[in-house]
Amino acid sequence: MRIAVGMSGGVDSSVSALLMKESGHEVIGVTLRFHTEECSIEGTHNVCCSPQDVRDATEVSRHLGIPHLTFDWEKLFRERVINYFVEEYARGRTPNPCAVCNREVKTGFFARYLRDVAGIDRLVTGHYAIIEDDPFFGRVIKRALDRKRDQSYFLALVRREDLNLLEFPLGTMRKEEVRKIAEEKGIRVAKKRDSQEVCFLMGMDPGKFVESEIGPREGDIVDLEGRVLGKHRGTYNFTIGQRRGLGISAGKPLYVIDIDAPGRRIIVGEEKELYRDSFIIGEINQHVDLGLWDSVEVQIRYRTRAVEVKDIVREGRGYKIKLKEEVRGVAPGQIAAFYSGERLLGGAVIEDRG
């Protein structure tokens, strides 16, 4: 097969390229550049898609003996991911830009683009997730063997038709194995730190980034009765469940329980107000037909435990998700990823706290 490997300049994508070459495929390294600035933040983890990452990907490709191409998609990334991120925060929501990027830019969309313009059979990435052909459900994504590294949550919005174009060779491996392979094969980024920041933030707090884009939007911090407890510079500095950084004094711990962006108000209350046993989502991106869903669990945030779903009820243009137990801090804008065991069934954007 003709394989394109999405190379970020890190160890995961580099080893993915190595594995594809050793499997006998025709391999080409492809890198998306989203920034013209260097993005390494001293003393923290690197953030991806910077010029240095492009250089690293080029050097690894040369070491592996495969061709390498760089695509300058800064404008597309701005339009489809950064603008979305800013607009969502301005609306008082908590977006997941990585999930949207996987759908609209660097994974699903990129795979289709490479198929159409270069006749590529598969796009391989360094995601820690398993993708396989199920005899009953078709091509599906499953959680990675290394649950601490599992990235299937971020793939919940990838279109079903794009799954046939994707491959994740690291899904059955642990990070330690990947680094060991890289060291044994002399790959220069074997010990490179992982990219854990949202790449375009470049170490900046999300609220400060949004303020740099749209300016301050001052307002009040109020309790459930509407009493003003303090002031803020912008609702985009807060998310549901937040306790720290409120800048108010009270006789008991208070948390952000709602965000009224049009009214420029942050509503705070006691922790018990954060718990919900249902919430509203928009249309579901189905990897498996909804009628085949069984023993369903939903995960509402990365690195949180999935909880059992009691019922999924059509409501307007979306669905009401009823849970068998309460969950803390449901936030509009976040991703609800649905699973049955290890299998990713699909995903949707949370629209309301129910």
Q: Which of 39, 48, 98, 199 is catalytic?
A: 199
Q: 3-state DSSP: the chain helix, strand, coil percent, rounded to 5? A: 30, 30, 40
Closest CA to 131 of 114, 147, 151: 151
How far apart are alpha carbons 137 and 135 in whole angstroms?
Answer: 6
Q: 333 with 346: CB under 8 angstroms? A: no
The structure tokens 């307002």 sit at 219
Q: At CA 44, angle to CA 43 and CA 48, rounded to 5?
A: 130
Closest CA to 215 of 79, 78, 84, 90: 90
The structure tokens 């601490």 sit at 148
Q: 212 with 200: CB under 8 angstroms? A: no
How far apart are alpha carbons 179 and 185 in whole angstroms?
Answer: 10
Q: Catalytic annotation on 98? A: no
Give the burial class of 132: count Cβ atoms within 10 A of its Cβ; 0-12 exposed, 13-18 middle, 19 or more buried.
middle
Q: Catalytic annotation on 199? A: yes
Closest CA to 236 of 264, 203, 263, 277: 264
Q: 129 with 150: CB under 8 angstroms? A: yes
Q: 21 with 185: CB under 8 angstroms? A: no
Q: Dihedral (C-alpha) 162, 163, 165, 167: value to the nearest 10 degrees? A: 140
- Strands 138-143 and 2-6 come out as unpaired
CA 163 to chain CA centroid, nearest Å: 17
CA 160 to chain CA centroid, nearest Å: 17
Q: Cβ of 206: how many Cβ atoms within 10 Å?
A: 18
User: What is the enclosing helix (H) or strand (E) of 308?
Assistant: strand 307-315
How far apart are alpha carbons 250 and 120 in whole angstroms?
Answer: 60
Residues acting as catalytic residues: 101, 199
